[in-house]
Structure 1
Amino acid sequence: MKGSLIIVGFFILGILAGNAGFVPQLVKDSNVSFMALCALLFCVGLGIGMNPNMKSDLRSINPRYALLPVVTVLGSWAGAAVVWLVVNRGFADCMALSSGFAYYSLSSIFITEYRGAELGTIALMTNIIREMITLLLSPLLARVFGPLAPITSGGATTMDTTLPIITHTVGERYVALSLYHGFVIDFSVPFLVTMWCMM
Protein backbone atom coordinates (compact mmCIF):
# COMPACT_ATOMS: atom_id res chain seq x y z
CA MET A 1 0.00 0.00 0.00
CA LYS A 2 2.93 2.32 0.69
CA GLY A 3 3.93 2.15 -2.98
CA SER A 4 0.43 3.13 -4.10
CA LEU A 5 0.39 6.10 -1.73
CA ILE A 6 3.76 7.24 -3.10
CA ILE A 7 2.35 7.08 -6.66
CA VAL A 8 -0.70 9.11 -5.64
CA GLY A 9 1.61 11.61 -3.92
CA PHE A 10 3.64 12.11 -7.09
CA PHE A 11 0.44 12.46 -9.10
CA ILE A 12 -0.82 15.22 -6.77
CA LEU A 13 2.63 16.85 -6.85
CA GLY A 14 2.47 16.87 -10.66
CA ILE A 15 -0.94 18.54 -10.62
CA LEU A 16 0.29 21.20 -8.20
CA ALA A 17 3.47 21.83 -10.23
CA GLY A 18 1.47 22.08 -13.46
CA ASN A 19 -1.05 24.53 -11.97
CA ALA A 20 1.65 26.64 -10.35
CA GLY A 21 3.51 27.06 -13.64
CA PHE A 22 6.74 25.41 -12.46
CA VAL A 23 7.01 23.25 -15.58
CA PRO A 24 9.11 24.82 -18.37
CA GLN A 25 7.40 25.33 -21.75
CA LEU A 26 9.96 22.99 -23.34
CA VAL A 27 8.62 20.11 -21.22
CA LYS A 28 5.01 21.01 -22.04
CA ASP A 29 5.72 21.05 -25.78
CA SER A 30 7.76 17.83 -25.80
CA ASN A 31 6.58 14.24 -25.92
CA VAL A 32 7.55 13.45 -22.32
CA SER A 33 4.60 11.14 -21.60
CA PHE A 34 5.38 9.03 -24.69
CA MET A 35 9.04 8.72 -23.68
CA ALA A 36 8.00 7.78 -20.13
CA LEU A 37 5.64 5.17 -21.58
CA CYS A 38 8.43 3.63 -23.68
CA ALA A 39 10.74 3.54 -20.65
CA LEU A 40 7.99 1.94 -18.57
CA LEU A 41 7.34 -0.77 -21.17
CA PHE A 42 11.08 -1.46 -21.36
CA CYS A 43 11.24 -1.88 -17.56
CA VAL A 44 8.24 -4.24 -17.58
CA GLY A 45 9.88 -6.37 -20.26
CA LEU A 46 13.17 -6.28 -18.39
CA GLY A 47 11.53 -7.45 -15.17
CA ILE A 48 9.78 -10.34 -16.91
CA GLY A 49 12.93 -11.31 -18.81
CA MET A 50 15.11 -11.28 -15.69
CA ASN A 51 12.86 -13.64 -13.71
CA PRO A 52 14.78 -16.96 -13.80
CA ASN A 53 11.88 -18.96 -12.34
CA MET A 54 9.24 -17.86 -14.85
CA LYS A 55 9.36 -21.06 -16.96
CA SER A 56 9.23 -23.47 -14.05
CA ASP A 57 6.50 -21.43 -12.33
CA LEU A 58 4.36 -21.50 -15.46
CA ARG A 59 4.79 -25.27 -15.87
CA SER A 60 3.56 -25.91 -12.33
CA ILE A 61 0.14 -24.28 -12.91
CA ASN A 62 -2.94 -26.50 -13.02
CA PRO A 63 -4.21 -26.40 -16.65
CA ARG A 64 -7.75 -25.74 -15.37
CA TYR A 65 -6.60 -22.33 -14.14
CA ALA A 66 -4.99 -21.27 -17.42
CA LEU A 67 -8.11 -19.32 -18.40
CA LEU A 68 -8.23 -17.28 -15.18
CA PRO A 69 -6.87 -14.14 -16.92
CA VAL A 70 -9.69 -14.43 -19.49
CA VAL A 71 -12.20 -14.59 -16.63
CA THR A 72 -10.60 -11.48 -15.10
CA VAL A 73 -10.87 -9.58 -18.39
CA LEU A 74 -14.47 -10.62 -19.07
CA GLY A 75 -15.52 -9.94 -15.47
CA SER A 76 -13.93 -6.47 -15.55
CA TRP A 77 -15.66 -5.69 -18.83
CA ALA A 78 -19.00 -6.92 -17.47
CA GLY A 79 -18.59 -4.59 -14.48
CA ALA A 80 -17.71 -1.71 -16.82
CA ALA A 81 -20.83 -2.41 -18.90
CA VAL A 82 -22.97 -2.14 -15.75
CA VAL A 83 -21.26 1.15 -14.81
CA TRP A 84 -21.81 2.44 -18.37
CA LEU A 85 -25.55 2.01 -17.89
CA VAL A 86 -25.40 4.28 -14.82
CA VAL A 87 -22.83 7.00 -15.65
CA ASN A 88 -22.82 9.57 -18.42
CA ARG A 89 -19.77 8.25 -20.28
CA GLY A 90 -19.19 6.53 -23.61
CA PHE A 91 -19.14 2.74 -23.73
CA ALA A 92 -15.58 2.63 -25.13
CA ASP A 93 -14.39 4.99 -22.36
CA CYS A 94 -15.79 2.70 -19.64
CA MET A 95 -14.23 -0.35 -21.27
CA ALA A 96 -10.85 1.37 -21.64
CA LEU A 97 -10.94 2.36 -17.96
CA SER A 98 -11.71 -1.22 -16.88
CA SER A 99 -8.95 -2.59 -19.15
CA GLY A 100 -6.26 -1.03 -16.96
CA PHE A 101 -6.63 -3.97 -14.51
CA ALA A 102 -4.93 -1.98 -11.69
CA TYR A 103 -1.92 -1.18 -13.90
CA TYR A 104 -2.35 2.53 -13.21
CA SER A 105 1.01 3.79 -14.44
CA LEU A 106 0.71 2.30 -17.92
CA SER A 107 -3.03 2.48 -18.58
CA SER A 108 -3.43 6.08 -17.42
CA ILE A 109 -0.65 7.22 -19.77
CA PHE A 110 -2.24 5.42 -22.72
CA ILE A 111 -5.70 6.79 -21.94
CA THR A 112 -4.33 10.31 -21.48
CA GLU A 113 -2.58 10.07 -24.85
CA TYR A 114 -5.69 8.87 -26.68
CA ARG A 115 -8.60 10.43 -24.75
CA GLY A 116 -7.21 13.37 -22.79
CA ALA A 117 -6.13 14.24 -19.27
CA GLU A 118 -9.58 14.02 -17.67
CA LEU A 119 -10.13 10.37 -18.58
CA GLY A 120 -6.46 9.63 -17.86
CA THR A 121 -6.93 10.96 -14.32
CA ILE A 122 -10.06 8.85 -13.87
CA ALA A 123 -8.06 5.83 -15.11
CA LEU A 124 -5.32 6.49 -12.58
CA MET A 125 -7.76 6.73 -9.68
CA THR A 126 -9.83 3.73 -10.85
CA ASN A 127 -6.81 1.48 -11.05
CA ILE A 128 -5.32 2.65 -7.74
CA ILE A 129 -8.67 1.97 -6.06
CA ARG A 130 -8.70 -1.53 -7.58
CA GLU A 131 -5.26 -2.22 -6.16
CA MET A 132 -6.25 -0.83 -2.76
CA ILE A 133 -9.38 -3.02 -2.69
CA THR A 134 -7.20 -6.07 -3.30
CA LEU A 135 -4.68 -5.06 -0.63
CA LEU A 136 -7.31 -4.30 1.98
CA LEU A 137 -10.08 -6.80 1.23
CA SER A 138 -8.26 -9.96 0.03
CA PRO A 139 -9.17 -11.96 3.18
CA LEU A 140 -12.83 -11.00 2.83
CA LEU A 141 -12.86 -11.71 -0.92
CA ALA A 142 -11.28 -15.14 -0.37
CA ARG A 143 -13.73 -16.00 2.43
CA VAL A 144 -16.83 -14.96 0.48
CA PHE A 145 -15.93 -15.84 -3.13
CA GLY A 146 -13.10 -18.38 -2.84
CA PRO A 147 -9.31 -18.38 -3.21
CA LEU A 148 -9.29 -17.16 -6.83
CA ALA A 149 -11.20 -13.95 -6.02
CA PRO A 150 -8.21 -11.96 -4.66
CA ILE A 151 -6.22 -12.95 -7.74
CA THR A 152 -8.85 -11.74 -10.22
CA SER A 153 -9.36 -8.61 -8.13
CA GLY A 154 -5.63 -7.82 -8.24
CA GLY A 155 -5.48 -7.79 -12.04
CA ALA A 156 -2.00 -6.97 -13.31
CA THR A 157 -0.64 -6.43 -9.79
CA THR A 158 -0.77 -10.10 -8.77
CA MET A 159 2.82 -10.62 -9.90
CA ASP A 160 4.19 -7.78 -7.78
CA THR A 161 2.47 -5.44 -5.30
CA THR A 162 -0.50 -7.59 -4.28
CA LEU A 163 1.36 -10.93 -4.40
CA PRO A 164 2.36 -10.86 -0.69
CA ILE A 165 -1.20 -10.30 0.57
CA ILE A 166 -2.59 -12.89 -1.86
CA THR A 167 0.01 -15.42 -0.73
CA HIS A 168 -0.73 -14.66 2.91
CA THR A 169 -4.48 -14.94 2.33
CA VAL A 170 -4.83 -18.02 0.08
CA GLY A 171 -1.52 -19.82 0.61
CA GLU A 172 1.75 -20.60 -1.16
CA ARG A 173 0.12 -23.01 -3.62
CA TYR A 174 -1.40 -20.06 -5.51
CA VAL A 175 1.89 -18.16 -5.98
CA ALA A 176 2.60 -19.59 -9.45
CA LEU A 177 -0.98 -18.92 -10.55
CA SER A 178 -0.75 -15.33 -9.27
CA LEU A 179 2.49 -14.78 -11.17
CA TYR A 180 1.05 -16.29 -14.36
CA HIS A 181 -2.17 -14.28 -14.02
CA GLY A 182 -0.28 -11.03 -13.41
CA PHE A 183 2.06 -11.70 -16.35
CA VAL A 184 -0.77 -12.36 -18.84
CA ILE A 185 -2.88 -9.41 -17.66
CA ASP A 186 0.19 -7.16 -17.56
CA PHE A 187 0.98 -8.07 -21.17
CA SER A 188 -2.62 -7.52 -22.32
CA VAL A 189 -3.10 -4.02 -20.87
CA PRO A 190 -1.43 -2.01 -23.68
CA PHE A 191 -3.34 -3.90 -26.37
CA LEU A 192 -6.76 -3.86 -24.72
CA VAL A 193 -6.60 -0.24 -23.55
CA THR A 194 -5.45 0.89 -26.99
CA MET A 195 -8.17 -1.18 -28.68
CA TRP A 196 -10.95 0.50 -26.66
CA CYS A 197 -9.39 3.96 -26.92
CA MET A 198 -9.33 3.74 -30.71
CA MET A 199 -13.04 2.88 -30.95
Structure 2
Amino acid sequence: MKGSIIIVSFFIAGVLIGKFVNVPSLLTAEEPTLYALYALMFFVGISIGSDKKALEALKHQNFKIILVPLATIIGTLAGSALISVILSGKSLTDCLAVGSGFGYYSLSTIFITQYKGAELGTIALVSNILRELIALLAAPLLVRYFGKLAPISVGGATTADTTLPIITKFCGKEFVIISIVHGILVDLSVPFLVTFFCTI
Protein backbone atom coordinates (compact mmCIF):
# COMPACT_ATOMS: atom_id res chain seq x y z
CA MET A 1 0.00 0.00 0.00
CA LYS A 2 2.91 2.33 0.82
CA GLY A 3 4.24 1.87 -2.74
CA SER A 4 0.84 2.84 -4.20
CA ILE A 5 0.70 6.00 -2.10
CA ILE A 6 4.23 6.98 -3.20
CA ILE A 7 3.36 6.43 -6.89
CA VAL A 8 0.16 8.49 -6.60
CA SER A 9 2.05 11.24 -4.73
CA PHE A 10 4.65 11.50 -7.50
CA PHE A 11 1.89 11.56 -10.12
CA ILE A 12 -0.02 14.34 -8.30
CA ALA A 13 3.22 16.29 -7.82
CA GLY A 14 3.90 15.98 -11.57
CA VAL A 15 0.40 17.20 -12.47
CA LEU A 16 0.72 20.20 -10.12
CA ILE A 17 4.19 21.11 -11.40
CA GLY A 18 2.99 20.74 -15.01
CA LYS A 19 0.02 23.02 -14.29
CA PHE A 20 1.61 25.76 -12.18
CA VAL A 21 5.30 25.80 -13.18
CA ASN A 22 6.74 26.75 -16.54
CA VAL A 23 8.35 23.39 -17.38
CA PRO A 24 11.05 23.31 -20.11
CA SER A 25 9.74 21.85 -23.37
CA LEU A 26 12.46 19.17 -23.23
CA LEU A 27 10.68 17.53 -20.26
CA THR A 28 7.24 17.59 -21.90
CA ALA A 29 8.42 16.10 -25.22
CA GLU A 30 7.66 12.48 -26.09
CA GLU A 31 11.33 11.37 -26.09
CA PRO A 32 11.94 11.43 -22.29
CA THR A 33 8.79 9.35 -21.71
CA LEU A 34 9.89 6.86 -24.35
CA TYR A 35 13.37 6.54 -22.81
CA ALA A 36 11.81 6.11 -19.36
CA LEU A 37 9.69 3.31 -20.83
CA TYR A 38 12.76 1.59 -22.28
CA ALA A 39 14.57 1.86 -18.94
CA LEU A 40 11.55 0.53 -17.08
CA MET A 41 11.24 -2.48 -19.42
CA PHE A 42 14.97 -3.17 -18.94
CA PHE A 43 14.66 -3.16 -15.14
CA VAL A 44 11.50 -5.29 -15.25
CA GLY A 45 13.47 -7.84 -17.28
CA ILE A 46 16.31 -7.78 -14.75
CA SER A 47 13.84 -8.17 -11.88
CA ILE A 48 12.15 -11.21 -13.42
CA GLY A 49 15.42 -12.75 -14.62
CA SER A 50 17.16 -12.39 -11.25
CA ASP A 51 14.31 -13.82 -9.16
CA LYS A 52 15.71 -17.35 -8.88
CA LYS A 53 12.96 -18.57 -6.54
CA ALA A 54 10.18 -17.52 -8.87
CA LEU A 55 11.85 -19.02 -11.95
CA GLU A 56 12.63 -22.24 -10.07
CA ALA A 57 9.02 -22.45 -8.83
CA LEU A 58 7.81 -22.00 -12.39
CA LYS A 59 9.93 -24.93 -13.59
CA HIS A 60 8.44 -27.35 -11.04
CA GLN A 61 4.76 -26.65 -11.71
CA ASN A 62 2.52 -28.59 -14.03
CA PHE A 63 0.41 -27.14 -16.81
CA LYS A 64 -2.68 -26.61 -14.61
CA ILE A 65 -1.07 -23.68 -12.79
CA ILE A 66 -1.30 -21.65 -16.03
CA LEU A 67 -5.11 -21.78 -15.81
CA VAL A 68 -5.15 -19.25 -12.94
CA PRO A 69 -3.41 -16.39 -14.82
CA LEU A 70 -5.29 -17.35 -17.98
CA ALA A 71 -8.61 -17.03 -16.11
CA THR A 72 -7.47 -13.67 -14.67
CA ILE A 73 -6.59 -12.32 -18.13
CA ILE A 74 -9.79 -13.56 -19.79
CA GLY A 75 -11.99 -12.42 -16.89
CA THR A 76 -10.41 -8.96 -16.77
CA LEU A 77 -10.72 -8.44 -20.51
CA ALA A 78 -14.34 -9.63 -20.46
CA GLY A 79 -15.10 -7.20 -17.61
CA SER A 80 -13.33 -4.37 -19.45
CA ALA A 81 -15.36 -5.09 -22.59
CA LEU A 82 -18.57 -5.00 -20.54
CA ILE A 83 -17.58 -1.67 -18.98
CA SER A 84 -17.01 -0.21 -22.45
CA VAL A 85 -20.73 -0.72 -23.16
CA ILE A 86 -21.65 1.33 -20.07
CA LEU A 87 -19.04 4.10 -20.42
CA SER A 88 -19.74 6.78 -22.97
CA GLY A 89 -16.81 8.40 -24.72
CA LYS A 90 -14.43 5.45 -24.27
CA SER A 91 -14.01 2.87 -26.99
CA LEU A 92 -13.78 -0.88 -26.53
CA THR A 93 -10.05 -0.81 -27.25
CA ASP A 94 -9.49 2.02 -24.72
CA CYS A 95 -11.20 -0.01 -21.99
CA LEU A 96 -9.33 -3.18 -22.97
CA ALA A 97 -6.01 -1.29 -22.87
CA VAL A 98 -6.75 0.01 -19.36
CA GLY A 99 -7.87 -3.43 -18.19
CA SER A 100 -4.72 -5.00 -19.65
CA GLY A 101 -2.66 -3.19 -17.01
CA PHE A 102 -3.75 -5.90 -14.52
CA GLY A 103 -2.62 -3.74 -11.59
CA TYR A 104 0.81 -3.02 -13.10
CA TYR A 105 0.27 0.74 -12.93
CA SER A 106 3.84 1.93 -13.51
CA LEU A 107 4.31 0.13 -16.83
CA SER A 108 0.79 0.25 -18.25
CA THR A 109 0.33 3.96 -17.44
CA ILE A 110 3.47 4.91 -19.38
CA PHE A 111 2.45 2.77 -22.37
CA ILE A 112 -1.12 4.09 -22.46
CA THR A 113 -0.03 7.71 -22.00
CA GLN A 114 2.49 7.25 -24.81
CA TYR A 115 -0.06 5.80 -27.24
CA LYS A 116 -3.39 7.30 -26.17
CA GLY A 117 -2.62 10.47 -24.21
CA ALA A 118 -2.57 11.68 -20.63
CA GLU A 119 -6.31 11.36 -19.97
CA LEU A 120 -6.48 7.62 -20.62
CA GLY A 121 -3.09 7.21 -18.91
CA THR A 122 -4.54 8.79 -15.76
CA ILE A 123 -7.57 6.51 -15.92
CA ALA A 124 -5.19 3.54 -16.23
CA LEU A 125 -3.15 4.70 -13.23
CA VAL A 126 -6.21 5.09 -10.99
CA SER A 127 -7.80 1.85 -12.23
CA ASN A 128 -4.68 -0.23 -11.63
CA ILE A 129 -3.94 1.28 -8.21
CA LEU A 130 -7.54 0.58 -7.19
CA ARG A 131 -7.09 -3.03 -8.29
CA GLU A 132 -4.08 -3.41 -6.03
CA LEU A 133 -5.81 -1.69 -3.11
CA ILE A 134 -8.88 -3.93 -3.45
CA ALA A 135 -6.62 -7.00 -3.37
CA LEU A 136 -4.83 -5.67 -0.27
CA LEU A 137 -7.89 -4.52 1.66
CA ALA A 138 -10.54 -7.05 0.60
CA ALA A 139 -8.44 -10.25 0.67
CA PRO A 140 -10.19 -11.76 3.73
CA LEU A 141 -13.64 -11.09 2.24
CA LEU A 142 -12.58 -12.45 -1.15
CA VAL A 143 -11.33 -15.67 0.47
CA ARG A 144 -14.48 -16.02 2.54
CA TYR A 145 -16.99 -15.51 -0.26
CA PHE A 146 -15.15 -16.59 -3.43
CA GLY A 147 -12.36 -18.95 -2.35
CA LYS A 148 -8.60 -18.81 -1.95
CA LEU A 149 -7.84 -18.16 -5.62
CA ALA A 150 -9.95 -14.97 -5.64
CA PRO A 151 -7.37 -12.61 -4.05
CA ILE A 152 -4.75 -13.96 -6.46
CA SER A 153 -6.94 -13.23 -9.47
CA VAL A 154 -7.95 -9.80 -8.15
CA GLY A 155 -4.30 -8.95 -7.43
CA GLY A 156 -3.40 -9.39 -11.09
CA ALA A 157 0.23 -8.59 -11.84
CA THR A 158 0.95 -7.61 -8.21
CA THR A 159 0.70 -11.12 -6.77
CA ALA A 160 4.41 -11.85 -7.18
CA ASP A 161 5.37 -8.82 -5.08
CA THR A 162 3.22 -6.22 -3.29
CA THR A 163 0.12 -8.33 -2.59
CA LEU A 164 2.03 -11.57 -1.92
CA PRO A 165 2.26 -11.08 1.90
CA ILE A 166 -1.52 -10.54 2.16
CA ILE A 167 -2.22 -13.55 -0.08
CA THR A 168 0.12 -15.69 2.05
CA LYS A 169 -1.62 -14.53 5.22
CA PHE A 170 -5.21 -15.18 4.13
CA CYS A 171 -4.81 -17.97 1.56
CA GLY A 172 -2.03 -19.98 3.20
CA LYS A 173 1.56 -20.81 2.31
CA GLU A 174 0.46 -23.50 -0.13
CA PHE A 175 -0.80 -20.72 -2.43
CA VAL A 176 2.50 -18.81 -2.51
CA ILE A 177 3.87 -20.63 -5.58
CA ILE A 178 0.57 -20.19 -7.45
CA SER A 179 0.62 -16.49 -6.54
CA ILE A 180 4.20 -15.97 -7.72
CA VAL A 181 3.71 -17.85 -10.99
CA HIS A 182 0.43 -15.98 -11.55
CA GLY A 183 2.13 -12.61 -10.98
CA ILE A 184 5.03 -13.40 -13.33
CA LEU A 185 2.83 -14.64 -16.19
CA VAL A 186 0.33 -11.79 -15.90
CA ASP A 187 3.28 -9.35 -15.63
CA LEU A 188 4.70 -10.66 -18.88
CA SER A 189 1.38 -10.23 -20.68
CA VAL A 190 1.02 -6.52 -19.80
CA PRO A 191 3.38 -4.90 -22.37
CA PHE A 192 2.09 -7.11 -25.19
CA LEU A 193 -1.64 -6.72 -24.49
CA VAL A 194 -1.53 -3.00 -23.64
CA THR A 195 0.46 -2.26 -26.80
CA PHE A 196 -1.86 -4.43 -28.88
CA PHE A 197 -5.05 -2.72 -27.67
CA CYS A 198 -3.49 0.75 -27.94
CA THR A 199 -2.46 0.24 -31.55
CA ILE A 200 -5.48 -1.48 -33.12
* Pair in the same fold by TM > 0.5: yes
In structure 2, what is the equivalent of residue 2 of structure 1? 2
Q: Which residue of the partner structure matches residue 192 of structure 1?
A: 193
TM-score, length of structure 1 as denominator length: 0.96
The alignment covers a number of residue pairs equal to 199
Q: Does 1:156 align with 2:157?
A: yes
Instruction: State the Cα distance separating 1:121 from its structure 2 match.
Output: 0.5
Structure 1 equivalent of residue 84 of structure 2: 84
TM-score (norm 2): 0.95
1:61-87, CA deviations, whole angstroms, 9 ceiling, x for partnerless residues? 354222211100110011112211111
Query: 1:54 Cα shift?
Result: 2.7
1:152-171 Cα shifts (integer Å, max 9, x gaps) = 10010001100110111101
> What's the CA shift for 1:60?
3.9
Structure 2 counterpart of 1:144, which letter?
Answer: Y
Q: Report if the CA contact (8 A) 1:60-1:176 is conserved.
A: no
Matched residue of 2:101: which SS? coil
Q: CA RMSD in A?
A: 1.2
% identical aligned pairs:
52
Partner SS, residue 102 of structure 2:
coil
The aligned residue for residue 119 of structure 2 is 118
Aligned position for 1:75: 75
| Structure 1 runs not aligned, ≥5 long | none
The one-letter code matched in structure 2 to 1:112 is T
Instruction: Return the alpha-carbon distance in structure 2 between the equivalents of residues 195 and 38 of structure 1.
Output: 17
**Alpha-carbon displacement from aligned partner over 1:13-44 (angstroms, at most 9, x marks no partner):** 00001011242222223511111111111111
Aligned to 1:47: 47
Structure 2 residue runs without a partner (length 5+)? none
Distance 1:167 1:195 in 2: 33
CA distance in 2, matches of 1:29, 1:92: 25
